Each structure stands twice: as structure tokens, then as C-alpha cells.
Amino acid sequence: KQEVTQIPAALSVPEGENLVLNCSFTDSAIYNLQWFRQDPGKGLTSLLLIQSSQREQTSGRLNASLDKSSGRSTLYIAASQPGDSATYLCAVSPSGTYKYIFGTGTRLKVLA
């Protein structure tokens, strides 16, 4: 059974720091992995999608890597800003399914 874990559960950093959010999954048979951002009481905004054949994806200050064999992904945020404060969720799409399985998220607070 696929399980997704995110560490840390919460993180508070001063503005300008570079930070890394971690995601691990138990079964390497996935189609892709997607990182999302969720603001309080809102829906999810897609940040990056990494296909199973890819190692990383970049968008602006965000970089996500995928190591399928070890069941790990990291989201790197460069030069963090207060506007980055949100909950970050990773989700994997297991092979042979149409669903995504989510972690419980990392709640990030960037202090001005």
C-alpha cells in the first residue's frame, strides 16, 4: 500500500532563507509526483509535476527533485518570501491507477 510522508510537519524561517521540504513514498511504482501549495481554507495550486522518468523540474525559485528508487522527492525554495507562507503538499500517482495519494503536508511560515 502506497504511503506518503512529509517532513517536517511545520517550519518557520526568516525571510531570505533557502529551504528544503521533504517527501517520501513507500512504493516506487509511480507515474509521477506533483507538488502543491495550499493557502488556509483554499484549494490546491499545482507547483511542479515530475514524471517518473525525470529527475527534476524547475519553476522560478522552486526546484523539485525525484529519486524514484529511494522513494524520495525534495522541494527546494530559494530566497524565501513571506508570500511563500502556506502548506506544501506532495502527491504521487501510483502506477495502474488514476488517483493521487497525498502526504499530510508541511506548514511553512516565512517571517518578514
By CB under 8 A, name the binding residues for another protein.
4, 31-32, 34, 36, 41-46, 49, 51-52, 89, 91, 93, 95, 97-105
Please state the closest distance from residue 76 (CB atom) to another protein, in A.
19
Nearer to another protein, 11 or 44 (CB): 44
Please state the closest distance from residue 77 (CB atom) to another protein, in A.
19
CB 77 within 8 A of CB 86: no
CB 105 within 8 A of CB 38: yes
CB 82 within 8 A of CB 15: yes
Nearer to another protein, 14 or 37 (CB): 37
Please state the closest distance from residue 44 (CB atom) to another protein, in A.
4
Nearer to another protein, 5 or 63 (CB): 5
Please state the closest distance from residue 78 (CB atom) to another protein, in A.
22
Nearer to another protein, 3 or 15 (CB): 3
